[in-house]
Structure 1
Amino acid sequence: MKKPHVVVLGMGEIGTVLFSLVKKRGYSIEAWDKVPQKVPHQKSLFEIIPKADILFLCIPSWNLPNVVKSIGPFIHKQTIIVGLAKGLQATKETPYTFLSNSFPHNEVVMLGGAMLAEEVALGMPGIAVFAGKKESARVLVKDCFKNTNVVSFESKDPEVNSFLSILKNVYALGLGIGDGIGWGGNGRALLALEALKEMELLCSLKGIKKDLVYGQSGFVDLIATGFSVYSKNVEVGKLIVSTKKTLPNSEGLVSLEPLKKIIGSSSSFPLFNAIYQAALRKEKAGVIFSRYIKKIQQKG
């Protein structure tokens, strides 16, 4: 059977890695990036999008609306859309919900899990979860990485996996803040434990089974992201501590405001509230987190 034609939109770190892996598997593949110099002899979206059987959107959540508008007129109903964004929209939509609403006639598969691009590029294992409602779509996408260093899993619930991916990025910010204020591995391990407790509670509010928090899109991705030197969210968390300059975007950072709207004034999420207050930078992160840790001690 002829292999699907693949298109990768966004040739950042993860897009470049996925492009390389899929190309080595013998697939016909094209790429596009907003910086044309990243793709030699780059064609227009008008030329490449209609040919895509599988379309990887290696795009951060804050750029999704513009990208969707750009590709919407050219995309076929048969194209499988693979989303990699892991941040909430301002509307509180997960990337899966946003893409499904934007392309109601297309199958949408979310690629989650611990996929640190720098590690995968070095030949280390990547842990990928292909989450989609239709098995045939999941299998087609998963097969792109067969016999590579990507360890693949499937899920029938893309919305749950999308939500878990968002939560782990938010709490990875907290682990970055902990690193920035000098807590070391011991303190950050405690933060990870408390993060998992709050992720459980947030999942309960959304009607999601708590045990799913401990899968590849939750616990595994949180640990990989929260303790990695390659993590953008950890980097931004450290910058929250060290600089007063405008922070660069990260999936965790852009998710804070919409997640705060979901949580509201609840006092059941003290770690999230500490991260949120630290990101606002109205008070030093060290002071906020010291106050938080005292509350944890009092509970214990």
Structure 2
Amino acid sequence: MSQPRARAAVFSAGSWGTAVAKIMADAGSDVMVHARRSEIAEAINTRHRNPAYFPDVDLPVSLTATTDPAAALDGADHLVLSIPAQTLRANLAVWAPDIGPDTVIVSLMKGIERDTGLRASQVIAEVAGVSADRVAVLSGPNLAREIMDGRPAAATVACPDEDAARRFQTACHTRYFRPYTSTDVIGCELGGALKNVIALAVGTASGMGLGDNAVALLITRGLAEITRLATAMGAHPATLAGLSGLGDLVASCTSPLARNRTFGVHLGHGLSVEEAMAATRQTTEGVKSAEAVLGLARVHDVEMPITEVISALLNDEITLDEAAAELMQRPPRPER
């Protein structure tokens, strides 16, 4: 007798949410996407396409959509959250009563809550009233457009409960997407959130025409910053050298598909924060989280000069030329 198909609820129908929904449908789950807009839900159900993000990609027939969060959550083995980190608390408070007692909640979010400095998994556990063992994180070098095209990619599934991590690993393992498991939620989550700020810096340097040497400098020293803070907060150093650390950092800093890098390029071209936001057209978590990351660095007494400069630049406290000069004029020191 065949086993019943797993069920997944994916909130929302943005680019990364749609990509993970497709992955899980291709891996054998019945997936229901929660879309805010009825026309997107209708298009997914009738035309099997998401016209807002991937109008050229056919979606599996086992992937459906609804505007009703309770309907999406009904019987879900996994709830996958792919919404802006700064809206997580308010939205989850509304959805939490409909989350099943055995549903594993998976965070795709790569941001730090500004008011509290909490990671997304911490907000989820607090608001949904669940133990940390029921909250997992998926993070890695995952550009949604490439995944929708079936190009090879990998990521890390981190959860304190190894069995829960393995179950979600199975639920998103396809011929083109290879997930690895970990119990280091802190490292996996911080690698994804902190790299966004470094990607902003790399994009800004690229937009200013500072060259490939500057890009390599920022990626390398950015990884040092990320590792310092993450390990101070309890992460394992090896996690930051893996897919959710170095891997995600490289993809976000080098690909024109990466939204934080793209935002930085607009800044480097001289656009204001508001103009860069309009030009990027998608949620840019690094912009929203930079100040919160800097706050964590101060709490844990960790030096993060690139993050300091980007935060000042975003707050119009320094100019582009001053930002470049401030990093290059720091006192010389040993590399380690």
TM-score, length of structure 1 as denominator length: 0.92
**CA displacement at 1:134 relative to structure 2:** 1.2
**Unaligned residue ranges in structure 1 (runs of 5+):** none
The equivalent of 1:25 in structure 2 is 27
Q: Secondary structure at the match of 1:7?
A: strand
Q: Secondary structure at the match of 1:254?
A: helix
Match of 1:95 among 120, 143, 146: 120
Deviations 1:234-265 (A, max 9, x none): 11212333212525341111111212222239
Identity fraction in percent: 23
Match of 2:304 among 245, 257, 269: 269
**After superposition, where does 1:213-292 map in structure 2 within 5 Å?**
213-241=240-268, 242-246=270-274, 247-248=276-277, 249-264=283-298, 268-292=303-327
**2:27 & 2:228 partners in 1: Cα distance?**
41
The equivalent of 1:139 in structure 2 is 166
The amino acid that maps onto 1:239 is H
Q: Secondary structure at the match of 1:154?
A: strand
8 A contact 1:173–1:252 mirrored in 2: yes
8 A contact 2:153–2:177 mirrored in 1: yes
**CA displacement at 1:43 relative to structure 2:** 4.6
**CA displacement at 1:70 relative to structure 2:** 2.1
The equivalent of 1:56 in structure 2 is 80
Q: Secondary structure at the match of 1:76?
A: coil
Match of 1:111 among 138, 152, 161: 138
**CA displacement at 1:2 relative to structure 2:** 2.0
8 A contact 1:21–1:148 mirrored in 2: no
**CA displacement at 1:22 relative to structure 2:** 2.1
Residues 291 and 261 of structure 1: CA distance in aligned 2, closer, same or farther (over 3 Å): closer
Query: Which ranges of 4 or more aligned residues in structure 1 deviate by more than 6 Å?
Result: none
The amino acid that maps onto 1:21 is I
TM-score, length of structure 2 as denominator length: 0.83
The amino acid that maps onto 1:93 is L
Q: Secondary structure at the match of 1:283?
A: coil
8 A contact 1:97–1:159 mirrored in 2: no
The equivalent of 1:181 in structure 2 is 208
Residue 103 of structure 2 is aligned to residue 79 of structure 1: yes
Residue 130 of structure 2 is aligned to residue 130 of structure 1: no
The amino acid that maps onto 1:250 is T
**CA displacement at 1:11 relative to structure 2:** 0.9
Residues 53 and 32 of structure 1: CA distance in aligned 2, closer, same or farther (over 3 Å): same
Please tell me the root mean square deviation across aligned C-alpha atoms, in Å: 2.0
The equivalent of 1:190 in structure 2 is 217
Deviations 1:137-192 (A, max 9, x none): 11221112223311211011212211221111111111111111112322101111
Residues 136 and 228 of structure 1: CA distance in aligned 2, closer, same or farther (over 3 Å): same
**2:130 & 2:318 partners in 1: Cα distance?**
47
**1:154 & 1:245 partners in 2: Cα distance?**
37
**CA displacement at 1:79 relative to structure 2:** 0.7
Aligned residues: 299
Residues 287 and 143 of structure 1: CA distance in aligned 2, closer, same or farther (over 3 Å): same
